[in-house]
Structure 1
Amino acid sequence: MSEKSPQSTDITEVLETVEDVSPERNGLDRLISRGARGAAWMILFAMGISVVEVFLRYGFNSPTSWVHETVVFLVATSFALGGPAALAKNSHIRVKVLYDNVGPRMRHWMDRFNDLVILGFCITMSYAAFHLFWRASHNPMGDWQLERSGTSWNPPIPGLLKGIILFALLLMTVQALLHFIQSLRATPEERT
């Protein structure tokens, strides 16, 4: 008979609590959560190339021109994709003072209102991101030309990042729409 250590029991309870608090609501949320785990590795890669840069710069007096912008791109991409990941896990920041002190029926209406506000926010931000991306991806004549950083390496990172931000916001808009539809269809008993 094997006994579980007290520490492993505590970790299991914490993981079960986290899953209860932040469930994914649909297939898109599950897909985004899986993708977010993969995208999180970008941070580790950014750290790795930063370490190589420090080693090359101070160990061999041979700095690179591409590491800083690549690290900024990787971290910014990870940050932008964190929005859909947080929405998928229902782990965005919320003030629970009112929510915890009302009954299931009122919580149901508060969930609907919250989903509607998130949808409105995502639509508005997607509209703004579209205009930012359009200006970053087209020259004044209207031809496709990604905005570049203007450094010695001069990659199209600003234009790419604005495209990634637009993608993340459009993804969040679809998520928010699905969440709002689900909250309209749900009964108060289903939304405990």
Structure 2
Amino acid sequence: MAKVAEIIAKVEDADAEIRTGFDRVIAGSTKILAWTIFAAFVITVVEVVARYVLNSPTFWAHESTTFLIAATFLIGGPIALARDKHIRVRMFYDGVSPARRRLLDIFNSVLALVFFGGLAFAGWIMVSKSWFSPIGELRLEGTGTSWNPPTPALLKMLVLICVSIMFVQTLLHLIAAIRRDVSAPADTAGEK
């Protein structure tokens, strides 16, 4: 029972690092999005039973599971950014004063905005090619298999959506870093 309380405390501590209301909404979505992993698990179990017990393999299980896991992986970017769990060279970041940390946050946010802007542009090109024919008709790109679901088109749209969300998150983080009072304690400076 003590282990459960420790796990709950760690999860609540992770949510304490959330900087904006938008981040809170995104981080809160994990409770719903976690069900995609469960759905992929159920589909895999159904496929194993169908293949090895009933000797009747499915043609849709592999592609469905791949889509769900890929979608979950893509959504992990905005969630990591919302919880401030992205990769950072802590050796340099933690070794500087709050004023310099603020400057690093501003610099990092500006670079990230340029990066996400470029990714969004590339994502729009991918989406337009996978959603529309050369003459402009709606035609979702499929996998090319016998089932041929439009998962490539859907995943490309999800890339664009996730990159756009991360752009907005980074813009909000930049604004927060610019407004941050460096005389405040480092633990509460990001929560203003």
Aligned to 1:85: 79
For residues 39-77 of structure 1, the C-alpha deviation after alignment (integer angstroms, 9 at most, x for no partner) is: 121011101110110110010111111111111110111
Out of 39, 53, 57, which is 1:63 matched to? 57
For residues 11-54 of structure 1, the C-alpha deviation after alignment (integer angstroms, 9 at most, x for no partner) is: 5664565445xx11111111111112211210111011101101
Aligned to 1:151: 145
Determine the C-alpha separation between the residues in 2 that align with 1:58 and 1:163: 35
Task: Map 1:31-180 to 2 at 5 A.
Answer: 31-180=25-174
- Asked if the contact 1:36–1:82 (Cα under 8 Å) also holds between the matched residues in 2, the reply is no
Secondary structure of 2:91's partner? coil
Q: When the two structures are aligned, how many residues end up with a matched partner?
A: 186
For residues 70-129 of structure 1, the C-alpha deviation after alignment (integer angstroms, 9 at most, x for no partner) is: 111101111111111111111101111111211111111111111212222111111111
The one-letter code sitting in structure 1 at the alignment partner of 2:157 is G
Q: Which runs of 4+ in 1 moved over 3 A?
A: 7-20
Determine the C-alpha separation between the residues in 2 that align with 1:67 and 1:9: 37
Q: Does 1:189 align with 2:183?
A: yes
- Asked if the contact 2:102–2:178 (Cα under 8 Å) also holds between the matched residues in 1, the reply is no
Change in 2 beyond 3 A, CA 1:100/1:71: same
Determine the C-alpha separation between the residues in 2 that align with 1:142 and 1:149: 20
The one-letter code sitting in structure 2 at the alignment partner of 1:108 is R
- Asked if the contact 1:119–1:180 (Cα under 8 Å) also holds between the matched residues in 2, the reply is no
- Identity in percent: 40
- What is the CA-CA distance between 1:191 and the residue it aligns to? 6.8
The one-letter code sitting in structure 2 at the alignment partner of 1:39 is L
- What is the CA-CA distance between 1:171 and the residue it aligns to? 0.9
Determine the C-alpha separation between the residues in 2 that align with 1:11 and 1:50: 28
The one-letter code sitting in structure 2 at the alignment partner of 1:55 is V
Aligned to 1:29: 23
Q: Give the TM-score of the pair, scaled to structure 2.
A: 0.89
Secondary structure of 1:152's partner? coil
Segment of structure 1 superposing worse, 155-164 or 109-118: 109-118
